[in-house]
Structure 1
Amino acid sequence: MNVQDPLEDVLALVGTSSSLSTGLIAGGAWALDFDPPPAVKFNAVRRGHCLLIVDGVVYPLATGDCFLLTRSQRFVLASGPDVPPAPAGPVFAAAGPDGFARTGTGDDVFLLGGRFDFGARARELLLDALPPVLHVPASSPAAAALSWSLTQIEAELRDRPVASGLVAEHLALVMLIHMLRLHLAEAPGAGPGWLGGLADPVVAPALRALHADPARAWTVADLAAVAAVSRSTLAARFKQAVGQGPLDYLTGWRIELAAARLRRGDGTVAAIARAVGYGSESALSTAFKRVTGQSPREYRRPA
């Protein structure tokens, strides 16, 4: 059986893409108030130090630190806690020909940022499993890999070789994966969901097996054998980590795969049913309607 990574599966299913925004150079006393971003926002401090303020919580940021905002909420970047913030929009709209926005006096702070865009199912499948702010300090184990990615992004944006934008965007996705890995390593059991399952050494092998062959007629005994534990142990640990039993999770994942194929117009309903593990179109239709409230044909039909 091939080993499959659920994180890769989910990132592919939700259509993850990245884009880089204007860099920020700042100095002296400064503060910028950002409107709630329409997508997942990231920033990295390449030089200097500043504060990130989100919902009244202050995060000190130093050179090498990165952060990810997984919710659409207002935030402030500032040199200190008592500086009145100015709207960030006009500052970035006035960015110079070098592609950098500037605020305050001097250039002792440099931030590189961008955003990650996801498909319609990302909130439920991925983002709700993450904290509102994912802060990666320079001292963390993931910092070295992030620093390498950021250095390469900076070089692409500075030197502008052929296809630099595409390369930089792919490097940003590498950053995202490293940040998610860090979250899994440092926050096991942070909440029920498949991310919590990946952090559990008993549940993770069973999750990978389900993702490697979702069309297989899995039993709890099969999955327990993969995880090298008893059926009762696997069932209890899976429910605790993921929030549902292994076969309920399998049903939900099959429906996600079927829904993605329906959105793409990828084959007949009968062919999709066979591909995701249902013996007939009617079996898929029954499960699909139970989970989504619509039949596959209703789901596929344009509004």
Structure 2
Amino acid sequence: MALRAGDVFIMFGDEPYRVYDHERSRIEDCLDVEALREGNRIQFGGGGTTTTFISGFFEIERLDVRPLLNVLPKLLHLRSEQNRSRAFQAVLELLAAEADSPGLGSDAVVRRLFELLFVHAIRAYSQQWGTAKTGWLAAVADKNLALAMEAMHADPQTPWTVDRLAQEAGMSRSAFAARFKDVVGQAPLAYLTEWRIYQAARLIEANASKISVIARRVGYQSEAAFTKAFRKVLGHAPSEHRKSVMSTAASKTSVFNEEMQEAA
């Protein structure tokens, strides 16, 4: 894949990749290059035309983002000549300026700018010709299906039926069910179940309430039915999810305390 000035690419996953100016160029290990870091800058090479890369990484832990990630390509490449919004271009310019001249609070500014960059990159991708004919992006771009999805997202606790969702979409029951399945790849109530469980997992991770209370907040009157659905979607029970979250939090706290002691 050839990169030109102004291009943006995002890789999803942990597959290795190489960046080089010519196929015969010697490849340097990224760890050796990282060792040259001074603050947020790495100066490397020399003897040729100066090239500046701005790079970062995203950690996406929220389960309710899965429907989006599942429809994105492993490599998202946005060329500079593609129709990008002025806001997208402004974020790129701000990132370049902040990286070139970091100041007070620069780390926090860069984090927020990368978040904005991600959002604008997804927007640009969704607007490309021929993109998102099926999947989550196609559904939210469909004016009828989008109404039903917005209703499910806003009120997962509502006892939705296919009939009620079809009414939200302004369609007949049969037409709605068929189009939803064709575009999203799963039936409306199957999608609703996953969305409810993702929201429940977030509430558990926030240590919000008892499992029974969380079950009701996402539309389950029976804790047993909620546990069964949770296990089907995520592969483990809600109680196990909470234990895992607490264990991870305790581990992070321990590492933080050790770092603070070393700093002192």
Could you state the TM-score of these two structures normalised by the residue count of structure 1?
0.72
- Distance in 2 (alpha carbons) for counterparts of 1:143 and 1:111: 21
Show the counterpart of 2:194. Answer: 252
Q: 1:83 to 1:144 in 2, by over 3 A?
A: farther
- Residue 138 (str. 1) matches residue 80 (str. 2): yes
After TM superposition, the structure 1 stretch with the greater mean CA deviation from structure 2, 267-276 or 222-231, is 222-231
Show the counterpart of 2:115. Answer: 173
Contact 1:200 1:241 (8 Å CA) reproduced:
no
Contact 1:224 1:231 (8 Å CA) reproduced:
yes
Show the counterpart of 1:213. Answer: 155
Sequence identity percentage: 32
Contact 1:202 1:237 (8 Å CA) reproduced:
no
Show the counterpart of 2:12. Answer: 70
What SS does the aligned partner of 1:142 have? coil
Cα deviation, residue 268, structure 1: 0.7
Which amino acid in structure 2 is aligned with residue 199 of structure 1? A
Could you state the TM-score of these two structures normalised by the residue count of structure 2?
0.82
Contact 1:188 1:200 (8 Å CA) reproduced:
no
- Distance in 2 (alpha carbons) for counterparts of 1:61 and 1:289: 44
Q: 1:87 to 1:291 in 2, by over 3 A?
A: closer
What SS does the aligned partner of 1:135 have? strand
Superposed CA RMSD in Å reads 2.5
Unaligned 5+ residue runs, structure 1?
1-58
- Distance in 1 (alpha carbons) for counterparts of 2:37 and 2:230: 49
Q: 1:122 to 1:132 in 2, by over 3 A?
A: farther
Q: 1:278 to 1:163 in 2, by over 3 A?
A: same
- Distance in 2 (alpha carbons) for counterparts of 1:301 and 1:168: 33
Give the structure with the larger strand fraction. Answer: 1
Contact 1:270 1:281 (8 Å CA) reproduced:
yes
- Distance in 1 (alpha carbons) for counterparts of 2:38 and 2:86: 30
Contact 1:65 1:137 (8 Å CA) reproduced:
yes
Show the counterpart of 1:110. Answer: 52
Contact 1:224 1:234 (8 Å CA) reproduced:
yes
Cα deviation, residue 90, structure 1: 1.3
- Distance in 1 (alpha carbons) for counterparts of 2:134 and 2:144: 16
Give the number of aligned pairs.
244
What SS does the aligned partner of 1:233 have? helix
Q: 1:244 to 1:162 in 2, by over 3 A?
A: same
Pairs within 5 Å for 1:1-303? 59-96=1-38, 99-119=41-61, 121=63, 124-142=66-84, 144-186=86-128, 187-189=130-132, 191-192=134-135, 194-302=136-244
Show the counterpart of 1:33. Answer: none
What SS does the aligned partner of 1:134 have? strand
Unaligned 5+ residue runs, structure 2?
248-264
Q: Deviations over 1:200-220 (max 9, x none)?
A: 343222111210111111122
- Distance in 2 (alpha carbons) for counterparts of 1:205 and 1:301: 36
